[in-house]
Amino acid sequence: MRLSIVIPTFKRASSLEALLKSIEKQSLQFDLYEVIVVSNFHDSQTQEIVSQSSLNPKYLVADTQGANKARNLGLASANAPSVLFLDDDTYLHSTNLLADLLIEEQMNPEHVAIGGVYELAATAGRFDRYYHNLSHDWQLANLQQNLVGGISLYQKNKIGHFLKFNEKISFGATETELNLRLKGMGFQLKVIPSLSVEHHTEINFWNFIKKAFYQGMGYNFLEGLKENQPLANNTKDKNLPHYLYQFFFKTGYRYGKVSLTRPLRKSLLAKSLLCEFFQLDSENILRPTHNQEVSYHLTKYPVLKFRQFYHWMKGNFWKARWRFFWFLKWRLIPLLIMFPLTAIWMLFPFNMIGLSVPYDQLLSKFKFKG
For the segment 127-141, what is each residue's pLDDT rounded down to a tens digit? 899 888 888 888 888
- Strand-pairing partners, residue 166, are none
CATH of 1-202, one of 3.90.550.10, 3.40.50.2020, 3.40.190.10, 3.30.1240.10: 3.90.550.10
Domain chopping of the chain, boundaries: 1-202, 204-304, 316-364
Angle subtended by helix axes 126-141 and 205-218, to nearest 10: 30
Cis, peptide link before residue 263, omega less than 30° from 0: yes
Closest CA to 228 of 141, 106, 165: 141
Amino acid at position 26, single letter: Q
Euclidean distance between CA atoms 127 and 132, whole angstroms: 8
Are 255 and 206 within 8 A, CB to CB? no
Q: Write down the pTM of the prediction.
A: 0.74
Q: What is the pLDDT of residue 332?
A: 67
Strand ranges, E, within the chain:
3-9, 33-40, 58-62, 82-86, 90-91, 111-120, 151-155, 188-199
Residue 60 burial by Cβ neighbours in a 10 Å radius (0-12, 13-18, 19+): middle
Q: Are the CB atoms for 55 and 20 separated by under 8 Å?
A: yes
Between 54-58, 118-122, 354-358, the lowest mean confidence (pLDDT) is in 354-358
Q: Rounded mean pLDDT of the chain?
A: 79
- The whole-angstrom separation of Cα 279 and Cα 190 is 38
What's the pLDDT tens digit per position in 51-84?
A: 999 999 999 999 888 889 999 999 999 999 999 9
Separation of alpha carbons 305 and 82, rounded Å? 53
Direct distance between the N- and C-terminal alpha carbons of the chain, in angstroms, rounded to an integer: 107
Contact 286, 246 (CB under 8 A): no
Give the pLDDT band (50/70/90) at residue 201: confident
| Residues 203, 221: Cα–Cα separation, whole Å | 24
Say if residues 224 and 124 touch (Cβ distance below 8 Å): no
Inform me whether the pLDDT recorded for 331 exceeds 90: no
What band does 34 get if pLDDT is binned at 50, 70 and 90?
Answer: very high
Edge-to-edge order in the sheet of strand 33-40: 58-62, 33-40, 3-9, 82-86, 151-155, 111-120, 188-199, 90-91
Angle between helix 205-218 and 240-258 (nearest 10): 40
Cβ atoms 116, 198 nearer than 8 A: no
Supply the pLDDT for residue 235.
Answer: 54
Q: What is the pLDDT of residue 115?
A: 93
